[in-house]
Amino acid sequence: MRRSFLPLVLALAIAAGGASAMPAQQNEILIERLGDRKLASSARIDALSILSFRGRAISLDSLKAVRRLSRNENRELDYVHMLGLIGGQGVEKDLRQFLKSNNAELRAEAVFFLSRDFPAGEAMAREYLADTEQPDSVRVAALRALVERGSIFAHVEALRRLTTASGSLLLECLAEIRRRPNLEDVPFLIDLLPENDGRARNEAVNLLREITGYAIGPNYKSWRWFYLKHRAEGTPFRAPESQAASGTSATTAYLGVRILGDRVAFVVDSSGSMDQSLQYSRQLSRGQSAVKELVALLPQLPPSTRFTVIFFSSVIQMLSGQKLVPKSDAQLAKTYSWLKSNLFQGETDLHGGLKAAFLCDDVDEIVLLSDGEPSGRTILNTELIRAHVASWNRWRNIRVSCISFGAPVVARRFLARLAQEHGGAMRVFE
């Protein structure tokens, strides 16, 4: 049974120096755990994950103490990330070894830190970014490295790939444009619209609305017409103030969370507490309300949508395994039957539900609904859950939104942080 160790960390930190000294002392305790061979391997590797998540550089000797464990416990991504945080010539050779890894995400970590922090890094990043044989995760890492080293090529490289990239790389290009949007980006964003559906198109439309002020939807011809009109008139592509856009272009929402993507995983708490009622809906239980809203939403999703639903309690139940299913009439009928047959019982394996969602093929948006904190024989430490999600999502650009369904304050804070860290929305229902 795996248990959360954070309460012990907090108790020791308070005893050592009071609340004001807690964060630094927590880190020191975690570092000590890395080399403590009396501890269970899981506790030592959990300490590595949290230190990596906090961005806390440690000594190379402390890190080497868990080198073998990181491989055995499938947390080698955190190990390479920590190598990069240590930095300097002392780790360059080790990082370069991971450039040869068969694991694309490990290569991505190495590419990112070598490109961001070393003198020849800019040329290296551009070389990897231009190599279409490289997986998206590696090319995402290369572009992000250019951004973080302040390269003048970052924005240019992002614009250049708008109509050729797809998946996580395209979303990374849009993220770079979002950091510094300007009118010169407009024609590139417009040209992206007819080539894409789902989240990339919605993100591009939202950027166009932000830059120009026009409240136009995802219609390529309309955007092109207004662009050419302003160009012919010699005026900036800006809408009159009376027509200024607001909000997002997405039109469908699950309990107030707008759905931007068309590769969506709905992760719904199925624990026993979901049998209780919400304050705003006394006639239905929390679980019944969640299912009712989902049944109403699914037929409204765009035709291109592929989706899945994951129920998490003491066990994880998946609508379609690790595959997303198309939004066909036959599939919707099967889904409704499956949703309505679910029983809300057991504990709250929130970590397991999220992990199952990240294992789904091609997912680009996750919507998590829960009414409480993790419980049962599972990972209970919410910072460790956030650390794992950050690791899973480092190079994938999956949007994670959260819905609090009568959750207590501590759980709401956790859900809000999770959504904020992964570009999602947060909604609270009592």
pLDDT at 242: 54
Q: First-to-last CA distance in the chain?
A: 32
- Checking DSSP bridges between strand 306-312 and strand 316-318, what pairing results, if any? antiparallel
Exposure class string for 186-219: b at 16+ Cβ within 10 A, else e: bbbbbebbeebbbbbbbbbbbbbbebbbbebebe
> For all residues of the chain together, what is the average pLDDT?
91
Residue 14 has pLDDT above 60, yes or no: no
pLDDT at 13: 38
Low-confidence winner among 77-81, 139-143, 248-252 (lowest mean pLDDT): 248-252
pLDDT at 248: 62
pLDDT at 380: 95
pLDDT at 247: 57
Distances in Å between the Cα of 262 and the Cα atoms of 198, 201, 255, 303, 421 are 5, 10, 17, 9, 21
What is the C-alpha to C-alpha distance for residues 363 and 204, in angstroms, rounded to an integer?
A: 19
The identity of residue 315, as a single letter, is: V
Q: What is the mean pLDDT of residues 291-302?
A: 96
pLDDT bracket for residue 245 (50, 70, 90): low
- pLDDT tens digits, 336-388: 999 999 999 999 999 999 999 999 989 999 999 999 899 988 999 999 999 99
Is 277 or 133 the better-scoring residue by pLDDT?
Answer: 133
**Which domains are assigned to the chain?**
253-429 (3.40.50.410)
Q: Which among 91, 164, 172, 113 has a CA at the least distance from the CA of 137?
A: 172
The identity of residue 245, as a single letter, is: A
The percent of residues in the chain predicted with pLDDT above 90, rounded, is 86
- pLDDT tens digits, 21-30: 467 888 999 9
The percent of residues in the chain predicted with pLDDT above 70, rounded, is 92
pLDDT bracket for residue 90 (50, 70, 90): very high
Residue 295 has pLDDT above 90, yes or no: yes
Low-confidence winner among 163-167, 238-242, 274-278 (lowest mean pLDDT): 238-242
- pLDDT tens digits, 55-70: 999 999 999 999 999 9
pLDDT bracket for residue 305 (50, 70, 90): very high
Is 335 or 246 the better-scoring residue by pLDDT?
Answer: 335
pLDDT bracket for residue 281 (50, 70, 90): low
What is the C-alpha to C-alpha distance for residues 205 and 190, in angstroms, rounded to an integer?
A: 8
